[in-house]
Amino acid sequence: MSRVTKLAAITATSAAAVALTATAASADSWTNGPFTAKANSNSLVVKVGGTTVATCSGSTLSGSMTNTGAFSVTGANATGCGVTVTPTGFPWSGSFTSGTTKINGFKMTALGCTYTGNLSGPYTGTAPPATVTFTNQPVTGSGLLCASNVTVSVTYVFTQP
């Protein structure tokens, strides 16, 4: 083999190895089974317009995950909010796909209003733990005298046992 042919063969082999490694690293490594997601401090922030109306000191999600990154939220809480915030309407569906996490069917009640929406935000990490950041996600309020222009922001760290 000539030096050029050897170099081309080594380069092709190296490129194939890098491609296989990149594919494996970019594929989510979830397992079928339970997950928990815990919010960081000042975890759940609710704003009306640009004004913060509630900052919860704790929030968690729980449910089940598939090995493809699809998940179902079957339990949630929000604590230390200054007002009672109650997650409802389970299950919420979700997915980790191409760097984006989505939660569909998000629903919480507070101050006599029900807020619903679909959350979407980027995640980092290709396997548990994965950090998901939802920033200023719009939710719709229903009920008497409920605020409009409401957004939710929260960062969760998803883990599996």
pLDDT value, residue 119? 97
Q: The domain at 31-159 falls in which architecture?
A: Beta Barrel (2.40)
Contact 62, 75 (CB under 8 A): yes
Band of pLDDT at residue 122, cut at 50, 70 and 90: very high
The CA distance from 87 to 98, in Å, is 27
Domain ranges of the chain: 1-28, 31-159
Helix, strand or coil, per DSSP, at residue 44: strand
Q: What is the structure's pLDDT at 41?
A: 63
**pLDDT (average), residues 103-128:** 92
Alpha-carbon span 87 to 85, nearest angstrom: 7
Instruction: State the pLDDT at residue 6.
Output: 31
pLDDT number for residue 16 = 32
Return mean pLDDT, the chain.
Answer: 81
pLDDT, residue 24, reads 31
State the pTM of this model: 0.79
- pLDDT of 106 reads 97
Residue 58: predicted pLDDT: 92
CA dihedral 72→27→99→38, nearest 10 degrees, is 50
Give per-residue pLDDT as tens, 25-59.
333 588 999 999 999 865 788 888 888 888 899 99
The whole-angstrom separation of Cα 39 and Cα 30 is 19
Condensed to tens digits (0 to 9), the pLDDT of residues 77-92 reads 999 999 899 999 999 9
Above 70 in pLDDT, residue 141? yes
Burial of 37 from C-beta contacts in 10 A (0-12 / 13-18 / 19+): buried
